Amino acid sequence: MKKKVLSTILAFTMVVSALTGCGSAANTAAPAADTQQASDAAPAADNAADATAEVQEAAPAAELTGIDAIIAEAEGMSMEELAKKAIEESNGKTFYGVGNSSRGKSALPVFIEYLQSIDPSYSMEFEWQQPKNNKIFEQLTSDSLKSEGTFAMTLIQDGNQIQSKMVDTDILKTFVPKEWAEANGTTADAYTGFLPLQTLNKVFMYNNQGTATYTNCWDFVYEGSNPLFMGVDSEIVGKNFLMMLTEDKYATWLKEAYDKLDDTKKAYFEPTIQAMQADASDLGLGANGAYALAWIKLWVNSYNEQTDDGPICNTLVDASAKDQSGLLVYSKLRSVEESATVSVNNINVAAYQDGYTGIGGYGYCHYLFLTKNSPLPWTACAFIAFMTCTEPGFEAWGKDMGGYSSNPNVAKEIEDTFHHSTAGGDEFPAKNDRGYDWWTTTGELVLEDPAYCSEVSFTVGSWIDVLDHYTPGE
């Protein structure tokens, strides 16, 4: 039955590909935001600049109008210049923002204080909405139908849906602050992709009060393991994580981790890997695609779905949760209240353990956009620049470990302020955050790429949708 479903998925995809291949620019996925440093961004930036120059030589550039013209002008301005524009535009008005993170509401008063440091007479009211159940996409789509929208900007996650529902449809607009681009060794014109505020990580953890050991990422899908996880239906970025595993880089990481397993565990996983070879070929995956599909299948078949990362953390740090494991937001450790039976020391961060092999978790971004019909575009640009280019602007998010500013200068200032790398000291070593650079290299953090997720959501994503889920007690 599953084979028939897969065949239907692939056949439908081929029809869609044939239709969209006829030259519809609206269906072309934008490159993913590069949340790493300038060394990674520069080659793509150079290629993009060369391509743009060729197009400009072939035909006159279209004159920008409306919000696009404002963004283009704003991208050449300093933080202070943007602030003056914001003061002129929004003094005495109300600013409406919408986002997946409630901390936008915490950052706005700090932004207003900054503007008041330039003009003490400045005032602005604000409202920040945080839609539940992934309704933010519906809310922004509805607002986009107005000649002038309600929302000035948004802070939003889930690169796949952002790409397909918000960017390809021209509902959201990317603004790249000049000082952010300079900090990342690029320019607004050369940079491609979305503007990330931060990368958040979800990492593998396990209770250490029992006898179970997790020395390899395949241990989390081994016989008898039922990790706690929000699940692909509870939080869509979890599905993006699974889709990203099929990308060649991450599939190779899984293959390399598999190669380091002992013969007993290899024998357990080998039948599933072999069974996935045909699907990997049908889905157009690379040489190690079957290893990715096998891990994904076993994960979906075994994880114990939870409604939120908070309860997962509360379970794992209790001494009674012997041998249990989970994949959850790293920053949840900050809120653990120590007691006789509850302690951060009752868990291990898997990737921090000597000898651990394979992926340590996944990272996804909060992205910042203007709406296409923003009522306060200059103020939105200034607020976005403030959050991405200043330590006070990012502090609402930066106070936690496991959330990394996309601006290397701000990231350093945040570390100098909060000392996340030594926050736990010798007493709580699990809370000593090893940082973005460590997690994305040694820690083998799988990073969300909106363009890739959008590309495979029809194929790999649909394949994931028909996998059987674990039901406790069965």
Tokens of 409: 């200068």
pLDDT averaged per 10 residues, the chain (length 474): 44 41 35 39 41 43 82 97 98 97 95 98 97 90 96 96 95 98 97 96 97 96 96 86 98 98 98 98 98 98 94 97 97 95 97 97 97 98 98 96 97 97 96 97 97 96 95 76
DSSP 3-state of 125:
strand
The alpha carbon dihedral of 328, 134, 444, 188 has a sign of negative
Q: What is the pLDDT of residue 474?
A: 64
Contacts of 148 (CB under 8 A, 6+ apart): 373, 375
Tokens of 238: 């979890």
Tokens of 366: 């909060």
Going from N- to C-terminal start, the domains of the chain cover 63-198+365-421, 201-361+439-465
Q: Rounded to a whole number, what is the distance in angstroms from the first to the last CA of the chain?
A: 22
Tokens of 30: 């934008």
217-220 contacts, C-beta under 8 A, 24 or more apart: 217/254, 217/257, 217/295, 217/350, 217/357, 217/358, 217/359, 217/360, 217/444, 218/254, 218/257, 218/258, 218/261, 218/265, 218/269, 218/295, 218/358, 219/265, 220/299, 220/325, 220/327
DSSP state of 19: H
Q: What is the distance between the alpha carbons of residues 364 and 201, in angstroms, rounded to a whole number?
A: 7
- Whether domain 63-198+365-421 has CATH 3.40.190.10: yes
DSSP for 194-213 reads -EEEEEEEEEEEEE-SSS--
CB 235 within 8 A of CB 281: no
Angle at 360 between CA 397 and CA 134, to 5 degrees: 50
Q: What is the distance between the alpha carbons of residues 166 and 128, in angstroms, rounded to a whole number?
A: 19
DSSP 3-state of 154:
strand
Q: Which helix (H) or strand (E) segment is 325 a member of?
A: strand 325-329
Q: Do domains 63-198+365-421 and 201-361+439-465 have the same CATH topology?
A: yes
CB 83 within 8 A of CB 185: no
Tokens of 400: 């936690």
Q: Which of 368, 363, 374, 309 is nearest to 156 (CA)?
A: 368
Contacts of 374 (CB under 8 A, 6+ apart): 67, 149, 151, 152, 153, 380
Q: What is the distance between the alpha carbons of residues 202 and 102, in angstroms, rounded to a whole number?
A: 19
φ, ψ for residue 245 (rounded to 5)?
-60, -20
**Between helices 289-302 and 236-244, what is the axis angle to 10°?**
150
Which CATH code fits 201-361+439-465?
Answer: 3.40.190.10
Predicted model pTM: 0.85
Contacts of 343 (CB under 8 A, 6+ apart): 317, 319, 336
Q: What is the distance between the alpha carbons of residues 30 and 28, in angstroms, rounded to a whole number?
A: 6
Helix ranges, 303-376 (H): 309-316
